[in-house]
Structure 1
Amino acid sequence: MPNVAFVAPFYLPTTLRFLEAAAGLADVRLGVVTQEPIEKAPASLRQRITAYARVDDALSAEGIHVGLRQLASDLGSVDRLLGALEDLQVPLGELRDTLGLPGMGAEAARNFRDKSRMKDVLRAHGLPCARHALIRDEGEATAFSAETGFPLIVKPPAGSGARGTFRVETPAQLRAAVAMSRPSADRPTLIEEFVAGEEHSFDAVSIGGRLMWHSINHYLPSPLEVLREPWIQWCVLLPREVDSPRYDEIRRVAPPALDALGMDTGLSHMEWFHRPDGTVAISEVGARPPGAQFVTLISHAHDFDLYRAWARLMVFDDFDPPDRPYAAGAAYLRGQGRGPVRRVAGLEEIARELGPLCVEWRLPREGQAQSASYEGEGYIIVRHPETEVVEEALGRIITRVRVELATTS
């Protein structure tokens, strides 16, 4: 019976879903390292946790190591160490190296976490990605723009979820983005050429470095465009036709890209562009489960529980590739204006028209605080055997449901 340590710095809703999946595995003794009091976890989850350690910093290797030592009296030595957050992957890799645990080590984790290093690795292996550079001041940014031209993307090297990311189209916008990023010799900023095309994800399961299974999503529109325009209502579509020839090029490129970066065993999230000329370009890759409800979407499209499958994969190196009987999609309900939610219009109409298609939702509530994420204040997930039906349903939702915040703009 393996002893598993799960690092959950905070009891966020998605983190709890992964944690509950790990706690539900048979023949596993589970310990949790967190910054939260155990009382904040659901009672049903607390009953299935063998050991618990609360630490001051569950996002650093040092802090997590403190927690592992605290777990030892109740759990014993750790056989597997896991966590779902992007920010955890390097600290977990460092500890696996130190403790001799199986799984991705620190060097490979840094290939995924440091986006400049990632692109260096990909380009060294002849794999398509945007030209890029680490800049330490405005002068270096200007020199890069003179070489590549506009538009450009400016972002932190270790960012995720499009946080702190800017698209710049003029020298003035570049100067403003660099000023906001405040680069330095110790803390450089990543600048790269803007890649035009349709944006997708390639979410894949690997075991021992071998790609076993994948799923493909469409972003409608891209996350960067959503960030730039607060009024945009957006969605993500998982077509049922995942084996379509239109995805042949990314299926050719993705396995060597993951191999070059050092993917071991786990669920990875690759964002990529399909250019107008038919070629592809890899944007970023995370060595962790995707966010923005993608794990939930994939679960509904394949009629299985990817949260539980991820936990079993990470503990037992085991994964049973599922069929894909449905297309699925998520419509993200973004508030218009600023402040807490004042009202939500159009839900009754959508419920009448699309009720049987809606398989999961988190609806905004009156008085709910405005979200700090581009995911918005809520979501509705739909599924159907036909991709066209799902795409049409998503279009209806984002055009008819309106989340009004206290101060409309």
Structure 2
Amino acid sequence: MNIVFLSPGATPHYHKFCVELKKLGATVLGLGDEVYDQLHPDLKSSLTEFYRVNDLHHYGDLVRAMGYLTFKHGKIDRLDSLAEYWLETEAKLRTDFHIEGIKTDSIESIKRKSHMKRVFQKAGLEVARGEVLRSVEDVQKFVKLVGYPVIAKPDVGVGALGTFKIRDSKELETMFNTKPANVDYIFEEFIESRICTFDGLVDVAGQIVYCNSMIYSQGIMETVNDDLDVYYYTARDIPLALQTVGERIVRAFDLKARFFHFEFFKLSDDHYVPLEVNMRPPGGYTVDMFNYAADVDLYKAWAEIMLTGKTKLEYDRKYHAVYISRKSRRAYEHSKDQIMQKYGAHILNHVSVPGVFSSALGNEGYLYRADSTQKVLEAAEYIRQKY
């Protein structure tokens, strides 16, 4: 089986997906604008070939690359980057080269937040009131219905970059004066609640083979805009109401052979309002967290689904896995040595975060697991304690 992995070196630990594909016998073909010699050694050893283009944004170059790889290796069976940024590019390439997976006829519903709302509503789910608005006057009319504050975010966008919390008419004017030109923004009513997720992996039949949920110390928007450090941790038990609405969304979007990451407002233990969907693994080091929480290997499980359409996972979420971030410009009370002395037996990794991810994930992070929420919160407090 020939599998093209788009931009294989962009996310530091995603080389593990390519490694597992090769172990299972796939011909793994890299297509990216990275310098080959700078790729992770395990990634290089897993690739049968790496085709470098100068810029992944030049679609014509990607078409020529795919034509070459098809001529040399035969029909391409799968293509993915597991990154939200390239979803539309992937869909175009799958359409043009007749590759199984999400194509251009269905990309809008998973790319545009305004279209996601339509799918939620069609599935009978409650949503936050919101719409794409292009003028101050239209937003003011919307505010008359929902009141301040309102949230403004790019209709197409990744993470919390470019997101505004608007508290009054002055901030609204500022937002329109500073937002990127020619970018559609969706404006939504502000809902005061915790954010949680429903995440997992589905096989080629759309069956959920793994799922979990994450709880955040605060929203990613607040983390980025207010320059905060964040922690988030996996659940051991998923509330029935959350799992039920999550499964409805999987069916509503007709997901096949994909990771998913759904975000919700948690209004109570039995009341969840969908915020948005992301058809990729959760960001940061979350795949590793899921593996640590249940002693599974989702890199291998995804690779098995790519090659055979299915995988068999028997798992128990025995632990909470938590990611605890620190930012270099903060003065923390406890040093790395003190942290390792106190928690080292249960710290699974200490990572340095690439700059492009640091606004959300900090400059460094600790991956820790424990069997109780109390232990998670105590560790998060200790590691993030400031002078």
Residue aligning to 2:283: 291
State the superposition RMSD in angstroms: 2.5
Is 281-290 or 118-127 further displaced after alignment?
Answer: 118-127
Q: Does 1:313 align with 2:276?
A: no
Q: CA–CA distance in 1 between the matches of 2:300 and 2:12? A: 15
Residue aligning to 1:51: 49
Q: Does 1:373 align with 2:369?
A: no
Count residues with an aligned counterpart.
Answer: 385
Deviation of 1:160 after TM superposition, in Å, equals 1.4
Query: 91, 99, 111: which one pairs with 1:93?
Result: 91
Query: What does residue range 390-409 of structure 1 map to in structure 2 within 5 Å?
Result: 390-399=376-385
Deviation of 1:235 after TM superposition, in Å, equals 0.2
Identity %: 23
Deviations 1:151-204 (CA, angstroms, capped at 9, x unpaired)? 1111111111111111111111122122222565xx421111112211111112
Query: 127, 134, 137: which one pairs with 1:136?
Result: 134
Deviation of 1:132 after TM superposition, in Å, equals 1.1
Deviation of 1:267 after TM superposition, in Å, equals 0.5
Query: 151, 154, 174: which one pairs with 1:153?
Result: 151
Q: Which amino acid aligns with 1:13?
A: P
The 8 Å contact of residues 333 and 376 in structure 1, kept in 2 or not, is answered as yes
Deviations 1:265-289 (CA, angstroms, capped at 9, x unpaired)? 2110011111158421111111111
Q: Which runs of 5+ in 1 are unaligned?
A: 403-409
Query: 222, 233, 255: which one pairs with 1:225?
Result: 222
Query: What does residue range 78-227 of structure 1 map to in structure 2 within 5 Å?
Result: 78-182=76-180, 184=182, 187-207=183-203, 208-227=205-224
SS of 2:148's partner is coil
Residue aligning to 1:28: 26
Deviations 1:31-69 (CA, angstroms, capped at 9, x unpaired)? 111112322223443233212211233256544322211
Q: CA–CA distance in 1 between the matches of 2:38 and 2:65? A: 18
The 8 Å contact of residues 133 and 187 in structure 2, kept in 1 or not, is answered as yes
Query: 39, 43, 50: which one pairs with 2:37?
Result: 39
The 8 Å contact of residues 258 and 279 in structure 2, kept in 1 or not, is answered as yes
The 8 Å contact of residues 8 and 31 in structure 2, kept in 1 or not, is answered as yes
Distance change (3 Å), C-alpha of 1:281 and 1:120:
same
Distance change (3 Å), C-alpha of 1:168 and 1:157:
same
Q: Which amino acid aligns with 1:190?
A: I
Deviations 1:5-29 (CA, angstroms, capped at 9, x unpaired)? 1111654413434333434x32111
Is 53-62 or 383-392 further displaced after alignment?
Answer: 53-62
Q: CA–CA distance in 2 between the matches of 1:391 and 1:156? A: 33
Per the normalisation by structure 1, the TM-score is 0.86
Deviations 1:310-352 (CA, angstroms, capped at 9, x unpaired)? 2332333222233222211110112336xxxx99952222112
Query: 250, 253, 265: which one pairs with 2:242?
Result: 250
Residue aligning to 2:344: 355
Q: CA–CA distance in 1 between the matches of 2:73 and 2:332? A: 48
Q: CA–CA distance in 2 between the matches of 1:195 and 1:302? A: 32
SS of 2:4's partner is strand
